[in-house]
Each structure stands twice: as structure tokens, then as C-alpha cells.
Amino acid sequence: MNCVKCGREVYDGGDTCIFHCEKEGWNNIEIIKFQNKIKELKFQTENILDEFIFPTEILDTFIKGRTYYNNVIFKDSIKIDNKTFKEKLIFKNCTFEKPLSFKSCIFEKELKFENTTIKNSMNFKNSKFEFKAYFFNLKEIKLINFKDVIFNELKINNNYNDSKIYFINVEFYDNFKLYNNYFNELKFQESIFTKYSSIKFKSSSFNHFIIDTCGNYTSQISFNELFIQKEFILQKTDFKNKVFNNLNLSNARVKIDIEQNINIFELIHWGNIHNKRIKINKKFLKVLKTYAKKDNNIVDETAFHSIEMYMIKEEYYQKLQKEPNILKKVIYFFKNILLLELYEKTSNYSENWIQPIWLLIIFSIFSYLLHIYSIITIFIIIYILIFTSLHSYRFKYKSNLLFTISVMMIVLYIFTEYLNFSSQNLLEYMNPLHKSNKEQITIWNHIRNFVVVVLGSRIFLAIKARNYYK
């Protein structure tokens, strides 16, 4: 009876030969018999092993002596320590069902993984690649971890969505190319881009993209046409030129903490810039503001200004908390924080022009109702407005705006039709320049006029800041 895989003689009464049969629980006699059969094959460098299964006890030793694997299934974990590979090491169409690790190894020639399934992780530690390393179309892999590694030339082309690649304390001395890839996470930490290296990423997508505490000594770095979907972190790393071009950060949380005097971004899609999603240190934030102003990009400039004002306000609050004296706290609040709070609440630092219009409408109606109706009616209106505001913020921005306007129109219609409400009288009443002969000058009149002027100026400045044409 012959093996169903290769046609060789079956082993131990099964339907497969000694090369393709399961080897779990083998004793030393069976392992020695397998080794002798391997020797009988007299493998040459380019011999193909077609889905052979190896016993764990000899797997590491076998890999150390071989250079080319095609259609091989490795069912057990592999650990290669202190090995110098003087010939090419190539895995093609193979399957690794358990973790694969290389520690303290030197690769003098090419290392290549191609169309290979790795069902767990791949680890390289304290190793050196003196030639080329290629990782093409790896399947099912969860993690590729490079730690304390030196690279010469590295190329990665992979599209497995759940995979993560970590470069921890890695040195790059030549080309590193990564094109048309999709990863869950790509991370550089405490790594070095030497002056001889060239780092080029293009047309790739990542959920998480992190560069943390890296040393850069080359100007040959370019990250082009990248889409970051969840998280972008760039900190404690300096660059010598514009590194990021056509970078899409519209959906990602952004954290940037670098000490740069130049703008490293070109054609960046920031999305909705606000302080809850984007964190940038003050020094580089000023750089972004300056370049946005030079490009006449008032939208981004205003948004960065809003983040800067928010950071200043937070710094003031931190100092306020450290002040033990209550009186000094009150004085400090009115001197430094109150105006910033009003600036934020009325127009989000001139970024939101809808906000002051909405506040002006609410205040105008409340003030006029206070002037002509009973206090019970006013409480009803306040309740309606509060309910409207709280309920509408459960929706997206456009729905929020449409819902709010719709409710306001209904309220105004009720007043106009049933409560003898006059929009003309309202406008006249709220006009700071209008004065009725019957109207008495009170403190409330001055407060009303002051609020109208402040909100009106906020509307004007916010609209002016948003008046940007490409």
C-alpha cells in the first residue's frame, strides 16, 4: 500500500509514509528511523519537501541544515538559537502551526518568507541581517516582532488585516520598503534610522501607526498615501524633511509630541480637528498653525488655534488647583480663565459659528418673554429649550442642527399664533441701538445689550474665520 500524499511506502500500517504521518508521542527509536530516512533522500539545496511533518525533537536541527522549503507543514514550535546561516533561507507555501523564533542568529544571505501561513507569531531577537530580508503575502499571522535586530535591506508586502509588526530597538542601514500593505498595527520604538538608510512606505493602511522615541539620521524617509484608521502616535522623534505626504488621519486619534521647527506634513487630511481626538504639543502646534496660515488654510489654522486655546485653559486650571489660597484662586480664575471659558462656550474659539447664533436665539427669546409674559410661561419655554438641546445632541451634527431649528420654528409659531408674540417687536427689543420711549433704562437692559453685542461679535468673527475658499 502506498502513501496517499506521495506514493511512498506507508508507515506503521497507516495510509501515509514516514514523512507525512503524524509524529506526536514518538519514541527515540522512531525518531532515529525518521532521521535515517531523511538522510537517504540526499537533499540538495533546491530539493522540495512536499508537506513533510517533522518530530519536534529534530525540527530545529533540521532547519539549521537546510536552506529551501516548499509546501512544508511545521506542526510544532520552532526555536533557532545562535545560528549563522551562510546560504539562503527560503520558506515558500509553507505552514507554521506554532510560534517561530530566531534568537542570536546571523543571516549572511537572503531570508525570504513567501505565500506562507503562520498561525501564531514570528519573533527575531538579537539577530543581524547582512543581506536581504523579504516577507511577502504572509497569511493568518498575528505578530511579527523584531527586537534588538540590525537590518540591511528589508521589504514587506502583506495584507493580513489582524497582523501586527513591531520594530523594537532596531537599526536600519539600507532600504526598507513597504508598499500596498494592510496591517492592524505598525510600531517603531527606540529604533534608529541611520544616515545610510532609506525608508519608503506607500499606498498602505493601518489601524494603528506608532513611531516612538526613534533616532533619525537620514532625510530619505517618506510615508506616502497612508490611511490611518484608529490611532496615529508620533513622539520623541525628529525628522529632517517633509516625511508624511497625503496622509489620511480623518478617523484616527492623533497624538503628536515632537520638537520640530519645520512642518513634516504635506497634504494631510486631518478630518474634524478638535481637542478630544487630536493631541499635539504646543511647540509643534504653533508650527502647524504657521504653515496653515502661509497656505491660506484658515479652516485648519482656526482649528489648531482652538486646540491651542484649550491647552492653555487646561494649564491654567492645573495651576489653579495647586493654589491653596481661596481668594487668590478666585482672582486667578477671573483674571485668566473666565474669558477663555466664555470664548470656548460662545464659539469654540471662533471655530463654530452656529453656536453663538443658537445662544443668541435662546437669549433673545428668553429676554423678550421675560419682558412681556409671566414667569410661568418663561419656565415652560426654558424647559422646551433645554429638552431640545439635550435631545438633539444625541444625533449627528446635521441632524442636531435640523432638529433644533425645527423645534424652534414650532415654538415661534405657537407664540406668534396663540400668545400674541411679535417677531418685529422681538428684533426691536433686542437691538442695542433701538430705544423705546416707554422703556425704562435698567441694569437688565445693559446686561441684555452687552450679551447681544458679545454674541453678535462672536458670530461675525467665527464666520470670518470659516470664510475659506480653496
Phi-psi region of 215 (alpha: psi -120 to 50; beta: other; left: phi over 0): beta
Residue 287, pLDDT score: 87
In the beta sheet, which residues pair with residue 222? 200
Taking the C-alpha atoms of residue 378 and residue 267, their distance in angstroms, rounded to an integer, is 51
* Residue at grid coordinates 530580508: 133
| Per-residue pLDDT at 468 | 44
* Residue 361 near residue 389 (C-beta atoms within 8 A): no
Q: What is the DSSP letter of 28?
A: H
Nearest-angstrom CA–CA distance, 136 and 150: 20
Contact by Cβ (8 Å): 151, 133: yes
Residue 299 CA, chain-centre distance (Å), reads: 22
So what's the pLDDT on residue 358?
65
Burial class (CB in 10 A: 0-12, 13-18, 19+), 157: middle
DSSP state of 12: T
| Residue 135 bridge partners (DSSP) | 113, 156
How many C-beta atoms surround the C-beta of residue 295 within 10 A? 11
Inter-residue contact 141 to 165 (CB < 8 Å):
no
Residue 385: Cβ within 10 Å count: 19
Q: What Å distances lie between residue 410 and 189, 236, 363, 365, 376, CA to CA?
A: 58, 55, 17, 13, 19
The C-alpha cell 433673545 sits at: 364
pLDDT for res 230? 93
256 CB neighbour count, 10 Å cutoff: 19
Tens of pLDDT, residues 331-343: 877 777 777 777 7
Beta strands in 262-386 (DSSP E): 265-269, 278-280
Nearest-angstrom CA–CA distance, 335 and 326: 14
To the question of pTM greater than 0.75 for the whole model, the response is no
Extract the runs of DSSP E, i.e. beta strands, from 1-116. Answer: 68-70, 73-74, 78-81, 84-85, 89-92, 95-96, 100-103, 106-107, 111-114
Each residue's pLDDT tens digit, 213-240: 999 888 889 999 999 999 999 999 988 8
Sequential DSSP letters for 254-286: EEEE---SS--EEEEE--S--TTTEEE-HHHHH
Which helix (DSSP H) or strand (DSSP E) does residue 330 occupy? Answer: helix 326-332
Q: 402 is written with which cell numbers?
A: 435640523
From the list 41, 51, 54, 98, the residue with the least C-alpha distance to 71 is 51
CA distance 305 to 302: 5
Task: Give the whole-angstrom CA distance, residue 300 versus residue 320.
Answer: 30
pLDDT at 188: 96
Residue showing cell 492645573: 318
Q: How many DSSP H helices and E strands does the chain contain? A: 11, 28
* pLDDT of amino acid 143: 92
Sign of the CA dihedral running 413, 414, 420, 425:
negative
Alpha-carbon span 420 to 44, nearest angstrom = 100
Mean pLDDT by 10 residues, the chain (470 residues): 80 81 78 73 45 61 64 79 86 88 92 92 95 92 94 86 91 90 92 92 92 90 92 91 88 90 84 80 86 80 80 83 83 77 69 65 65 57 55 44 57 54 53 53 58 62 50
Length of the chain: 470
Q: Which residues pair with 171 in a beta bridge?
A: 150, 192
Residue closest to 168 by CA, chosen among 120, 212, 200: 212
Give Cα separations from 72 to 36, 103, 129 (angstroms): 19, 22, 24
